[in-house]
Amino acid sequence: MSLQLYSHPMSPCSQKVRIVLAEKNLPWEKIDIDLPGKANLAPAYLKLNPTGVVPTLVEDGMAVIESSIICEYLEDRFPAPRLRPTDPYQTTQMRLWMKHIDIKLHPSCGALQWPLVMADKLKSLSDEEREAQMSRIPDKARRERQQRLLKFGYDAPDVVDAIAVYEKTISDLDALLSRQAWIAGDEFSLADAAMAPYFQTPYQFGWIAWYAERTHVAAWYTRCRERPSYQTAVTIDFSAEKLADLAARGAPAWKKISAMLYKN
Ligand SMILES: N[C@@H](CCC(=O)N[C@@H](CS)C(=O)NCC(=O)O)C(=O)O
């Protein structure tokens, strides 16, 4: 058995797969893809993952794409320790949250994070070079979103929507976690592995005030962070220098986010 994961240290959907690999104590080879340099659009990578995004898991030459599908694949392929509830209803809840993350929270995270950490390299290119890079993004919605974020930064309409999605997610999760320890019930599951990286974003940019007073969410995220899997899959990539740089980038953004959150 040989597992390779193409990912990027700052990518939340890559982090969730790395958490699952760590929870299952699986050996794997890390291949970093330079997302700001758009190495995800190189022809050889597109052969593995035609959507041109990370993560991609390769097992013995077979590529598996889409982070939630990769997580379920790892669960089926390496069932111990178990990360899917035994109860079928709880499994539906786990999958509903994973679907919410894929469809709503992930693009929202992208809208908040991308202008702060991914846009600089593109901005340094000439207009022609930048257009050529952007035109290779296979998915139209993604391409247009990145173009808006590049042009308008935090004034893009995507940012307002993203803040609303994050706020509702934090509030819904807080209500859920007042009744149970983990997202799908009493045990840590794929839903927790999938959700925790989306709290790394407010954490790393110094926006902790966003969730700190939602005490159930805050306690849950602390429990996730304290797990060895989070430390080896996520924390390891955030040195003190890197966190200081991210906090400096996050400070002006928080002024805009908090102004929108607390405008009433
Ligand atoms: N639905 C995909 C989303 C993957 C995705 O958006 N990956 C981002 C990093 S978190 C990416 O590769 N972005 C590259 C780009 O947009 O240029 C999944 O869950 O695997």
DSSP class per residue in 144-175: HHHHHHHHHGGGSHHHHHHHHHHHHHHHHHHH
Residue 35 CB less than 6 A away from ligand 1? yes
Distances (CA, A) of 100 to 2, 93, 231: 31, 11, 25
Please provide the CATH number assigned to the domain covering 88-261: 1.20.1050.10
Strand partners, 63: 58
User: Which ligand 1 atom sits closest to the C-alpha of 66?
Assistant: 20
Taking residues 37-57, report their average pLDDT.
96
Nearest-CA residue for atom 19 of ligand 1: 67
Nearest-CA residue for atom 10 of ligand 1: 11
pLDDT bucket at 4, cuts 50 / 70 / 90: very high
Q: How far is the CA of 143 from the centre of ligand 1 (A)?
A: 12
Mean pLDDT score of the chain, rounded to an integer?
96
How large is the angle between the packed helices 157-177 and 240-261, nearest 10 degrees? Answer: 100
Radius of gyration over alpha carbons of the chain, in Å?
Answer: 18
Contact 61, 1 (CB under 8 A): no
12 has a pLDDT exceeding 70: yes
Select from 114, 124, 131 the least CA-distant residue to 10.
114
For the full predicted model, state whether its pTM sits above 0.75.
Answer: yes
Q: Worst-scoring range by mean pLDDT, 75-79, 134-138, 195-199, 234-238?
A: 134-138
Residue 142 CB less than 6 A away from ligand 1? yes
Strand partners, 30: 5
Distance CA 40, CA 159 (A): 24
Q: What are the residue ranges spanned by the domains of the chain?
A: 3-77, 88-261
CA atoms within 13 A on the CB side of 226: 7
Quote the pLDDT of residue 262.
Answer: 85
Contact 21, 71 (CB under 8 A): no
Domain 3-77: what homologous superfamily?
A: Glutaredoxin (3.40.30.10)
Residue 53 CB less than 6 A away from ligand 1? yes
Quote the pLDDT of residue 264.
Answer: 59
Q: How far is the CA of 46 from the centre of ligand 1 (A)?
A: 13
119 has a pLDDT exceeding 80: yes
Q: How far is the CA of 76 from the centre of ligand 1 (A)?
A: 23
Q: Name the more confident of 118 and 89.
A: 89
Residue 12 CB less than 6 A away from ligand 1? yes
* Encoded amino acid at 137, one letter: I
Distance CA 78, CA 61 (A): 17
pLDDT tens-digit readout, 156-201: 999 999 999 999 999 999 999 999 999 999 999 999 999 999 999 9
65 has a pLDDT exceeding 80: yes
- The enclosing H or E element of 16 equals helix 12-23
Q: How far is the CA of 53 from the centre of ligand 1 (A)?
A: 4
Nearest-CA residue for atom 12 of ligand 1: 53
Contact 217, 167 (CB under 8 A): no
Quote the pLDDT of residue 1.
Answer: 79
Cis peptide bond N-terminal to 81, omega within 30:
yes
Classified as helix, coil or strand, 185 is strand
Nearest-CA residue for atom 1 of ligand 1: 66
Q: How far is the CA of 13 from the centre of ligand 1 (A)?
A: 7
Residue 21 CB less than 6 A away from ligand 1? no
Taking residues 74-90, report their average pLDDT.
98
Distance CA 126, CA 182 (A): 48
